[in-house]
Structure formats: C-alpha cells, structure tokens
Structure 1
Amino acid sequence: MYPLLLKQLWHTPLANASEQEIIYRDRLRLSYRQVYERINQGSAALAVACVRQGEVIAVMDHDSHRYLECYFFIPMYGATLMTVNTKLTPAQIAYTLNHSRASMLFVHADFIPIIEEIRAALHGIKKIILMTDEGAIPQSSLSLDDEYESWLAAYPNEFAFADFDEHVRATVFYTTGTTGVPKGVYYTHRQLVLHTLAAGMALTAPAARQRLHGGDVYMPVTPMFHVHAWGIPYIATLLGVKQVYPGRYAPEMLLKLIREEQVTFSHCVPTLLRMILVAAQKDGVDLSDWKVVVGGSALPQALAKQALAMGVDCFAGYGLSETAPILTLAQLSEAGDASETLPDDALATLCCAGRAIPLVDLQIVDETMRPQMRDGQSNGEIVVRAPWLTQGYLENPEASTALWHGDYLHTQDMGAIDPNGYLRITDRLKDIIKVAGEWVSSVEVENALASVEGVKEVAVIGMPDSRWGERPLALLVVDKTLFDASAAQEQMRISVERGTLAKHALLTHFKQVDAIAKTSVGKIDKKALRAEHATAN
C-alpha cells in the first residue's frame, strides 16, 4: 500500500530539484535539501517531546520558510497543524486555540503581546517555542521553552517518517466568517494530497497564460494561516519551483522581492493587488512577468484591466475554507502566446469564477436541489462535491449537517454556469438584495461602479426601504478630484440597458466613505457595513 501522505510530495523535488532555492525575505536562502533536513529535525524534536499522533500544534508566524517547514513536519510526524489567524481578536485567538485543543504553540516575536494578554485563558498550551528573525529572545512575561532555530539544531537531520492511515487529520484552522464564533475546518493527508494534484494539474495545464510551470518563481501574497495559502505552497513544493516568502506584507518588500528574485507567480485578494499595482506605478517597477490568481472576493473588471495594462497576467479563482480551497480557475480556452494582447471580450472571462478544476462536480441548484440549466442565465446556489472537501466543522454536528445537505457541500453562494462551463458568481445568499420583489446582485453593481473614474473601492449592501422593501446602497471610496456622481449614475444606466444589471439597480443610493470594513483576510465585511450604514428609510 502507498498511502497518500504529505511526505510523498517531497519525493520528486528532492530527486529533481534538491538545490533549488527557498528564500525568506532578503534574509535567508536555503535549498530544498536543507529545508527537508530541517523538516526532519522538527519531526525528531516532536518525537523526543513524546508528541502523540493527532496532537494539535499551533503556529503563529508571518509567511516564512519556518511556516513552510511547519506545513510539513508537523503533519508528516502524525500530529495536526493548527494555523492561527493572527488577524482575529485576542479573545477569538484564545477561543480557537482552546477549541482545537492545541498543546504546543510556535509563535513569532511580533505576536508575543497577544499571547501575553490571553495566556491565562489558554488551558491546553503546555509548551511555547519562539520564532524570531533576529535570534534574540525578547523580554516577556511568558515562560518560553525554546527558540525555533536552537530547538531544531538540537536534533539530527534524519528522521524515519512512518507510513500511517492517510485519513489521519493533517490540518485544522478556523473560518473567518462574519457571524458567530469561528468554526473549525479540518483536512486529512489524503484530502490535501488530492487537492494538490487536482489544483496543480489545473494550474499547469494552459499552454501560455494563467498557468504555473516549473520555471516559475512563486511568492504567496495570501496569509499562510488562511486555507493553507490556497494550497499553493504544497503545489510549488511538489513542482520543485523556486519559492520566496515575504514575511510581514509591506509594499516595498513585496516589490523588492518581485524585482530582485524575479517572482513570476503569486495569489492574493483584490485589495492587495490594488495596493501592489499602485506602489509599482509609483516606484516604476516592471510587473510584466508577474502572474496572479485573485480570489477571496470578486475580481473587479476595472482592476483586472489596470493589471493587464501593466503586463500582469491576472485571473480569478474561486473556493472556500471548506473546499481546501480551489474549486475553479478563470483560465481562457484559447490564451494564445503570452506576449499577445488579450481581446477585450476576454476580460469578463478572466474576472468570472472560472471552470471547475479536475475531479470537482459543480452544480447550480434551486431550493429543492434541482440542477439549473447551464445557459449562463439560470441562477441558483452553487453546490459541489470533490474528494478533498472538508467533511464538517470541528465538534459542530449541526453546522456540518447543514453544510452537506443533500450530499453536496453548500457554498451559500449564488451563481450561473454558461455553456462553456464558466461559473459566474452573482452574490452571496445573504448579500443579494431584493428590490420590489426583484433580485439585484450586489456583486454586479460593484463591478459596474468599479469602472467609474475616481472610484478606488466600492461595496454594495441592501438597506431597508419603506417603499421598495430593500434598496441598494453603494459605499464608495473615491478620489474626489476625479469622481463625478453623475458618471456613476450614467454607468448604472448603461449597464441596465446592456442587460448586465437588473433595472431596479437604478435605485442604488451612493454614499462616499473614507474606508470600507474588511475581514481578517481582506474580504469586504458586509455584516459590519450593514450594521454601520443600513438604516431604514
């Protein structure tokens, strides 16, 4: 038997690319061979500490070579990696550490103040290992057991990784939803290996554009605590490509690494892409060799157009915490040569959710679970099956049952699929706006307004209305020297005439704001926006 375990992802890179580089900021360069030796040391240390199979070990770090090592040595040993969302509140972090039953914590020095604040509430943490870029142990009220580098160095760089059941839990992390307490999502070794193979096949399949290949240089711009950084570090490792980890995100460092390490492939949310494009324009950095998968929220066509004009090969992807996450990728059927200019009609395709990757059964269904036509117009909830989807929420059977109602995982997203298999997200079930009995998609209104000159950011929510039931409210962050409200109204009118917006979208009210609330992973927080702005008229 050959179990599908994360350790198997190392066979090919060690055989074919052992001296390929894995880089941390502008501080450290390691080879694949050296990183694998450090993975061996980490597992040997866990064995000496008598860590049990299935025991949960938590990590709080910036995107780093250390985090990549933890992605492997903790589950390869047989323990469970818990990735702590450092953007949650201290109380939420304490909840997730306790709920997961984490017994050991690796924590970067930057997050020591958070752990000091909640240490008395952490019932299961028995050992804390410090991670630091400087090597020095900071002053702290915490009882720190060791420093990561000295902890690794104390153990041999060879470890006999055992075969065990591929259904052993490899990872757990917590959703960043905007309702209730965070929910624990977990994955087995088998699920992560299958997601790596399917998503990797999809990313490497295109002939020229929207692809990841063996000659690329990979740098994540999605936090490694969030859904395994979309699973792409596992794919990059399997392919043996050069990897660059930027640490704490700062535009200057990201651009420095893109330029000096010749980064060619990344993934991020729209807000980060916008930030990098603005910084690159300001500093005159050439991004023409950069490919970016954009997810987390809809990729606005205006942002994609800006990126494409700068030579960035950007395209959308779609998935959930519960799906490991990649389900679809917006890759063009006929991309042509990478040096060619894309036709305008390809823009909408690059910004849609895309087509299902291998092994994903994706359906659009009505309230009775009846599949809808794939005509690009029939709308319904997106439900999916694939062999790597989470089987439920940790110790939450009621939510797990609802998640898998009707033997499909329910995404709570609305969408339509066209005859060529491309999925278009129309809205979240909870975000769609009902005006005089007609559904208005907040996503489509946002996309229309994002193309108006002077609009930097836009979020659309429904607000109660005594006449219409609900009415769209567009919250706009604008450049006041460029923005003209009449141009926004005209764009809405044109979109309605073209049939891309429902006619009741013309009832949208505009409100200029200084900022738009985001969740911990950079998504627009519409629950917070509704609480702040949506009052009855």
Structure 2
Amino acid sequence: MNELLFSSGTYYEYPLIIKKILTSALRYAPSRTISYRDRLTYTYTTLEERIKRLAGALSALGMEKGDVVGMIDYNSHRFLETYFAVPMMGAVLATFNWRQGIAELGHTISHASPRVLIVHEDFLCLLKKVKDSLGNVHHLVLIKESEQPEEPFFSFTGEYEDLLIQTQPEYEFEDFDENTPATLYYTSGTTGLPKGVSFTHRQIVLHTLTLGLTLGSYSSKIRFSSKDVFMPLVPMWKEHAWGLPYLAAMLGAQQVYTGKFDTECLLHLFKKYRVTFSVCVPTALHLILEHPYANGLDFSQCKLIVTGARLSEKLAKIALSRGLKITSAFGLSEACPLVSMAHLKGDLDGRATRKKIEALTGAGLPAPLVDVEIAETSEHLMETGNRRNGNLPQGQIVVRAPWLAREYHRDPKKTIDLWKRGWLYTGDLGFIDKDGHIHITDRVGNVSKSGGEWISHQKIENLVRQYPGVQDAAVIAIPDEVWGERPAVLVVIDEAHESLVNSTQIEKFMYSFVRTGDLPKYALPDKYLIVDEIPKTEVQKIDFRHIMERYGGLLFPAAEGTG
C-alpha cells in the first residue's frame, strides 16, 4: 500500500479483503505448519512466500483483476495457496467438482470461463472428455506428483511447482474494493445443471469472522482455537471446505491436507499429526468408524462438525461412544455455507442423553448475523408469535445474512427463484421451535402433492429403512392423472438379505404404519423398486436427475414405447 496517497487528516477506509486474513496468521503464528499427507510440511511464512510466487506466476501469464483462474485438485496445500493468491491479486478463483458427471463438469468449466486452469494429473482423463468446454482456457498448468510422462494430448504452459520455483516471491498485493468478486463454485445440480455462486472478499471475511465467533464464543465442546490441528474431510472445491481453511489461517492453526481421499491414509494422518478438529459428511464419518484401523485410535481430543446431510441418531451415538465430540451444522452452497449450528443451550446440558442427541443431530441455532424465518408462501412469512405460543407451523426456510450469494452466476432466471421479497429461499422445508432451534423436515421438490395433500418423502424413506435388510431408500414423485402425484420408492437391500427381501414384503411392512397411525393411508407409496444403488451427489444428497436417467423406464413403463 502506498502511504503517499494519503494526506494528513485523510481517513483510511479499511477494506475487508482476504489478504487481511493471512496477515493475522503471519502476525501470531508464522512458524506453525501446514502439511500435505506425509510428503510436505512448511510454515505460514513459507505459505506467504508461495502465495506471492503463485500470484507472480499467474501475473506473468497475463492474469489481471477480474480474470478467472480454475482449479481441479484434491484437498491440498496447493488448494490453500489458490484460496489466497488468486483472490488477493483481484482475480476470481473458480473451483470445479471432479466427482460429478462429464456433462456437469463440462458445463461448469465452460460457464465459469477460466483463462488459466490448474489441474492435477489424475484428472486429465476427465479433461479429455470435456475438451470442447476449454475454449476460453489460454493456459493449462499441470500439477504433477507421479513419475509418469506428461499427457501428450494437452499443451501445458508449465508445471505448478516449476512455475513457483521460477518466480520470485516479490508480488505486491494492493488494497482494492472489498466488494470485488473473490471465488466461484457450483451447486450439486440434483435437479438440473449445476448453478454458479460467487462471493466477494467482504462476504468471505465476514463469514470467516462469524464462523470463528460461532465456534469460539459459546459454551460448547466444539470450540476451534489456534491450538487446534485442523484437517478438512469435505472437498475444497465446494463451499470453501465450509470456510474452515480461511478460519484456520486467520487463527494460525496447524493445518493438514489429505490429498486423494483414502480412509486408511486419513486415519494415519489423524494419528501422526494428532488432529483435533475436522468437518465431514455422515458417510465419511461412517467409513472412518467402521475401518479396522480406527479401532486402536483415541478420538477423545477430536471435535467434528458433521454436515451435508442429516446425522442419524444411531451414527451420532456410535461417534460419541468412541469419544468424538460432534455437532451438526446446516448450510447451503448459496450461503457460503454457514446458516446454523447445533450448539447445546445451557439448559440442555443437564438433560437426558437422548435430548442432547436430538439437539446435536438437528440443524441447530442460527449463527450470529443470520436471520432465519419460515415462509408460508413466496409472499408471506409465518408469524413469529405463533411458535412462542407453541404453534409450530411448517414452511420453507428463508434466510438473510451479509455473506449470501447475491445471484446465480450468469443465470438471472434462476436468481428470481432464489431471492423473493428480500429473503433467500433455501429450498428446505421445516419449522422453528419455541427455543429457536431449526428443524428441517424435507426439501422442496422432495414432497409429493397427492389429491391436495402433501406427502413427505423423508418420512417414507425413514420408515422404509426400518425394515431389516434395507440399506438405503429414496422416494420420488410420479405424475398421476387422478391424484396429481404419487410417491414411489427405490430400495437398496444389503448383501446379507438380497435373496430374502422383496418389494411385496416391504409393502406389507409399510402398511403396518397405517394401522398404527404413523402414516396416513394416502401416503403409502404406489411402487417399490429394488435397485443396486441410489445415485447421489458428492455430499450424499439424492441425485434425482440421475435417478430419472437410470430408472425412469422402470418407474414410468407407459413411456417406454413413446419416442
């Protein structure tokens, strides 16, 4: 910053920009470390140096303020470097989900239009299949970790580490408008093509500060401090890995990155680095606790945020019994992602274990600076007084916060459905209880309207899963000329029961809930289809679009002969 631009008496308008996050780490913990698997460990001082080298290398390739730099990699120190270097030079970091389908990957790369694309060698086979989406990419930068020869199909500008070595750490990061776009990533696209959401420097800094406040200021066992060792188990290409790498950097906490996800490897890293804080989806937690190597590990010092899907009470009990300190959090891509966290209120600390588990597995309480309400329609919010009087009306959860996505990137039509009357519509259905806890009951589109009555898919799925041998279940709505829509269920049977369970048995089982009053008769599914697997997204949400592509012919037999 050039102080000569400021005359005496001139106020400095302090910008909330990402470089200020890094300044904090360098001030308080310059010697604390960042590790990548067993292969590399360096300090925050070295991180700053590498960030300057990366920015200098990108600048030499012609990258300027507002240009887009794309990243396709595993969770790594390199990803952390791009989290800072790209936005700090005024460019936009676009991160891409390499787990999604080819059509979706091609769409997101084309839609984001990066001028530079940094890609790990493991994903070059995917990049070949979307080569027609690379028209705006001027420079391909290769991340190479193996001894294999370079892929001759592509022409690379250089290799990531080589570019850093060849560039001096002299790049000067200037201040600029805090409302400058910093990052861009894409939604899972469960009902259509993924949608892009972008966030400014101001939004990311405010999100980081509030996440730190949420995790550090309340009476809770899930507290994150500079003494923690942080290892994220959610992908860095989505939601900034829940924003926690930015928070860890601001606090100067030790960080560990796993690279390619492998349960045994991450358990080894957990033990080696004595990891004390992480974030993951329920599936990852299940894989960790079920792995034989986990049996000899002490989890008593580890705090874990579980997000991305509802944490079941059964899994929560198993995790707690193994010594883990856990909590659930509710977020969404459009919210960067923090909305709420399942902190226990003081009056819950002395209650029964079951009450605690119900609270810990729920969506929790809104974070500071987050307003949450329930919308009856797109025009009306529920009356707040109703829930204070014990009436708990359900509707769509709507939110306000200073870090919410302002729009879907280059998609004004979809943005109209996102924002209504000054509230962001989450697409989640639920209610807020008299204590202020958010309860998510279903997803908009994850319900059937049959004969004017709403039928919850989630409730049906939970009941079907109670049948012995049922491993998973998913409900979808089938159009019906008489009723409008009717529910149908896809069911996965575990290996031990494959030859023992059929759809007729499940149908009879479900009817028992009608007799007990747990399910209205009109909510009984019309069809039970046993399948090998239920397509899901990378965060284990049911992928309805791929379900229709794979099983549509079986669910809609009348359509098979049309064309």
TM-score by length of 1: 0.90
Whether contact under 8 Å (2:34, 2:44) holds in the other structure is yes
Bigger mean CA deviation after superposition, 523-532 or 466-475: 466-475
Is 1:68 the counterpart of 2:68 in the alignment?
no
CA–CA distance in structure 2, aligned partners of residues 296 and 214 of structure 1: 25
State the AA in 1 paired with 2:471. K
**Residue equivalent to 1:386:** 401
1:299 matched to 2:319: no
Alpha-carbon distance in structure 1 between the residues aligned to 2:517 and 2:316: 21
2:258 to 243, 246, 249: 246
Alignment deviations for residues 61-107 of structure 1 (CA, whole Å, 9 cap, x no partner): 00000000001000001111010111233343333222222100111
Matched, 1:18 2:30: yes
Instruction: Report the Cα offset of residue 498 of structure 1.
Output: 8.7
Deviation, 1:13, is: 1.4
2:136 aligns with 124
What corresponds to 1:113 in structure 2? Answer: 125
Aligned to 1:420: 435
TM-superposed deviation, 1:526: 3.0
- Separation (CA, whole Å) in 2 of partners of 1:78 and 1:478: 51
2 CA distance for matches of 1:316 and 1:71?
25
Shift of 1:512: 4.0
**Distance in 2, Cα, partners of 1:43 & 1:130:** 16
Contact 1:452–1:488 at 8 Å: present in 2 too? no
Q: Are 2:467 and 1:434 equivalent residues in the alignment?
A: no
Deviation at 1:151, TM superposition (A): 0.5
| Counterpart pick for 1:184 among 196, 202, 211 | 196
> Which one of 501, 514, 517 corresponds to residue 532 of structure 2?
514
Contact 2:279/2:306 (8 A) holds in 1 = yes
Partner of 2:377: 367
Task: Give the equivalent residue in structure 2 for 1:405.
Answer: 420
Per mean C-alpha deviation after superposition, the further-off stretch among 77-86 and 138-147 is 138-147
String of CA shifts for 1:117-141, please: whole Å, max 9, x gaps. Answer: 3335421111111112247652322
Larger radius of gyration: 2
Counterpart among 67, 79, 87 of residue 91 in structure 2: 79
Deviation at 1:309, TM superposition (A): 2.6
Q: How do residues 15-164 of structure 1 correspond to structure 2 at under 5 angstroms? A: 15-134=27-146, 138-164=150-176
Cα distance, 1:307–1:487 mapped onto 2, change above 3 Å: farther
Task: Pick which of 472-481 and 438-447 moved more.
Answer: 472-481
Flag the 1:264–1:56 CA change in 2: closer, same or farther, 3 A: same
Q: In the alignment, is residue 195 of structure 1 matched against residue 213 of structure 2?
A: no
Structure-2 change in CA distance of 1:467 and 1:120 (3 Å): closer
The structural deviation recorded for 1:370 is 2.2
> Percent identity between the aligned chains?
38
Displacement of 1:334 in angstroms is 3.3
Q: 1:141 to 1:469 in 2, by over 3 A?
A: closer
Aligned positions of 1:230-379 closer than 5 A: 230-280=242-292, 284-334=296-346, 343-372=353-382, 373-374=386-387, 375=390, 377-379=392-394
Match of 2:19 in 1: 7
Distance 1:90 1:310 in 2: 39
Other structure's SS at 1:81 match: strand
Paired with 2:378 and 2:138, the residues of 1 have a C-alpha distance of 49
Corresponding residue of 1:460: 475
2:73–2:120 contact (8 Å) kept in structure 1: yes
Partners of 2:303 and 2:324 within 8 A in 1: yes
After superposing the two structures, state which structure 1 stretch, 77-86 or 464-473, moved more: 464-473
Moved more, 111-120 or 471-480: 471-480
Is the deviation greater in 466-475 or in 226-235? 466-475
SS in 1 for 2:35: strand
Counterpart of 2:543? 525
Verify the 8 A CA contact 1:463 1:530 in the aligned structure 2. Answer: no
User: 1:455-498: per-residue Cα shift (whole Å, max 9, x none)?
Assistant: 43333333456776545444343445479897997799679969
Q: Which runs of 5+ in 1 are unaligned?
A: none
Please tell me whether the aligned partners of residues 191 and 388 of structure 1 are also in contact (alpha carbons under 8 angstroms).
yes
Distance change >3 Å, CA 60–CA 377, structure 1 → 2:
same
Amino acid at match of 1:529: I
Aligned runs of 1:194-233 on 2, under 5 Å? 194-233=206-245
Give the counterpart letter for 2:455 in structure 1: V
State the Cα deviation string for residues 400-459 of structure 1 (Å, max 9, x = none): 222112111111211100011111111111111334543232223334555666543333
Change (3 A) 1:336 1:383: closer
Whole-angstrom CA distance in 2 between matches of 1:290 and 1:535: 48
Secondary structure of the structure 2 residue equivalent to 1:171: strand
The worse-fitting range, judged by mean Cα deviation, of 51-60 and 252-261 is 252-261
- Residues 302/403 of structure 1: CA separation in 2 closer, same or farther (3 Å cut): same
Q: Return the alpha-carbon distance in structure 2 between the equivalents of residues 264 and 496 of structure 1.
A: 48
Q: Tell me the TM-score normalised to structure 2 length.
A: 0.86
Cα shift at 1:336? 8.4
AA in 1 matched with 2:440: I
Conserved? CA contact 2:267–2:294, under 8 Å = no
> 1:24-70, CA deviations, whole angstroms, 9 ceiling, x for partnerless residues?
11211111111111111111222333321010010110000000000
Unaligned runs of 5+ in 2: 1-12, 559-563
Tell me by how many angstroms 1:391 deviates. 0.7
CA distance in 2, matches of 1:488, 1:308: 35
Deviations 1:208-247 (A, max 9, x none): 4233233222111111111211211111111211111111
Q: Which amino acid aligns with 2:105?
A: I
**Inter-partner Cα distance in structure 1 for 2:166 and 2:75:** 24
Query: What SS does the aligned partner of 1:105 have?
Result: strand
